Amino acid sequence: MLGDPDDDRLIGELGELLDATDPPPARLVAAAKANYGWRTIDAELAALAYDSAAEPVPAGVRGGEEPRLVVFDGADLRLEIELHAEGPGRHLLGQLVPPGPAELQVRQGGGRVSVSADASGRFAATGLSAEALSLACLRPGQPPVVTDWVLP
């Protein structure tokens, strides 16, 4: 890795060119900073454990027909989510494991959509966008659980 000065100079020149012609958009940097508002202090994390979109598609099978299945695992709670795309919109169906009633918030963009899980742990949310989203789950007498963020 001993840098040849000429190589280093050319890479530096290329860096200046790319900085000038294709820098990260200012609105992206601003949005990434604003993300900090989503920070949670005392929530447990349910981490991304499975994503059907990341699985290899068998030869000859076109993806995109089946709903995408995403699973998040926390210490004592699993969230299974089916993501459906309808043009630019998204909706989701979810199942809590173990099943039980809970309040859920779909966190996305500038706001939250609140939905309830029924006694069997099922829930649904509609009217979502294609922006990154995360779920927060509030169960009676339990600490809140938040999921990893995914691009639906």
Residues in contact with other proteins by the rule CB under 8 A = 1, 6-7, 9-15, 17-25, 27-29, 31-33, 35-36, 38-41, 45, 51, 53-54, 57, 62-64, 130-132, 134, 146, 148-151
User: What pairing do the DSSP bridges indicate for beta strands 89-97 and 122-128?
Assistant: antiparallel
In the complex with other proteins, the residue whose CB is nearer, 55 or 118, is 55
Question: Residue type for 146, please?
Answer: V
Q: Least separation, in Å, of the C-beta of 118 and other proteins?
A: 27
CB 100 within 8 Å of CB 117: yes
| Cβ proximity to other proteins, 1 vs 119, nearer residue | 1
Sequence-separated (6 or more) residues with CB below 8 Å from residue 124: 91, 92, 93, 94, 115
State CA 138 to chain mean position distance. Answer: 18
CB of 119 to other proteins, least distance (A): 28
Q: Closest approach of Cβ 80 to other proteins, in Å?
A: 18
Considering the complex, what minimum distance in angstroms separates the CB of residue 30 from other proteins? 9
Amino acid at 133: L
